[in-house]
Amino acid sequence: MKAENPAALRFILQDDIYLLQNDKTYTDEKSPQPVEETPAVKLNYLGKYKKAFLVMVHYPGHEFIADVHLTALENILKRKDYAIDDVAILNMATAAIRNLDELLTYFNPQKILLLGKDALPANIEAIALNEPKQMEGCMALYTFSFADMMDSTENKKAFWEQMKNL
């Protein structure tokens, strides 16, 4: 008698059948494949992000932001009743994630401040300069970088007018 499927033998034979290691050529069970887990991405940012306010900057030579610009940002945040612990300052020059969708999933922000064109994440839809925009469930403001604002009173005024409403 010949059985096509070794699993069918249990219906034909009443006794237990044992195969030796060298006799095993077929198995019903798939051999377990090692699962490669993608390590969770950990973003390095300044602040504790207590109020879901994401500030995106671009400083290739710094871990987060230049000290002079950090002082200016702290003063702006104080005027809006925020502190550094209320926001996350993410340096896009060193960020492990640069895609907008992934950043929104990671942070789930209520507000986003984008300081300069170099701070814009990949795949962001067109966003006008100094015009707050509702985007993916949060308010976003794309404005000048601090380098562009520090020497221009007009840029500072344009930024502050929109920042008041953010």
Question: How many domains does the structure of the chain reveal?
Answer: 1
CA distances from 83 to 49, 143, 161 (A): 10, 20, 20
Looking at the predicted structure, is the pLDDT value of residue 49 above 70? yes
Distance CA 126, CA 89 (A): 22
Q: Please report whether residue 70 resides in a domain.
A: yes
Q: Which amino acid is at 134?
A: Q
Residues 6+ apart with CB under 8 A from 111: 52, 53, 54, 138, 139, 140, 141, 166
Q: Please report whether residue 35 resides in a domain.
A: no
Q: What is the mean pLDDT of residues 46-59?
A: 95
Distance CA 145, CA 133 (A): 18
Asked which of 81-85, 89-93, 132-136, 139-143 is least confident by mean pLDDT, the reply is 132-136
Q: Please report whether residue 4 resides in a domain.
A: no
Q: Regarding predicted confidence, which is higher, 39 or 65?
A: 65
Q: Please report whether residue 96 resides in a domain.
A: yes
pTM of the model: 0.73
> 151: domain range?
53-163
Q: Please report whether residue 101 resides in a domain.
A: yes
Q: Please report whether residue 85 resides in a domain.
A: yes
User: Helix (H, G, I), strand (E, B), or coil: what is residue 115?
Assistant: strand
Distance CA 47, CA 45 (A): 6
Q: Which amino acid is at 14?
A: Q
pLDDT of residue 81: 93
Looking at the predicted structure, is the pLDDT value of residue 2 above 70? no
Q: How confident is the model at residue 54 (pLDDT cuts 50, 70, 90)?
A: very high
Please write the tens of the pLDDT for every residue from 130-151: 899 998 889 999 999 999 988 8
Q: Where residue 107 sits, what CATH number does that domain have?
A: 3.40.470.10
Q: Which amino acid is at 100?
A: L
Q: Please report whether residue 104 resides in a domain.
A: yes
Distance CA 158, CA 129 (A): 10
Q: Please report whether residue 1 resides in a domain.
A: no
